[in-house]
Amino acid sequence: MDVFAWSYKDMPGLDPNIVSHKIPLYPGVEPKKQKLRRMSPNLSLMVKEEVTKQLESGFIEVFRHT
* Concatenated DSSP letters of the chain: --SS--SGGG-TT--HHHH-------TTPPPPPPPP----HHHHHHHHHHHHHHHHHTSS------
Task: Specify if 30 maps to a domain.
Answer: no
| Domains of the chain: total | 1
Q: Pick the residue with more confidence: 21 or 45?
A: 45
Task: Specify if 26 maps to a domain.
Answer: no
Which domain covers residue 8, as residue numbers?
1-19+37-66
pTM for the model: 0.53
Cα–Cα distance between 14 and 16 in angstroms, integer?
6
Residues 9/60, Cβ–Cβ less than 8 Å? no
Tens of pLDDT, residue by residue over 33-65, are: 889 889 999 999 999 999 998 888 877 888 776
Task: Specify if 55 maps to a domain.
Answer: yes
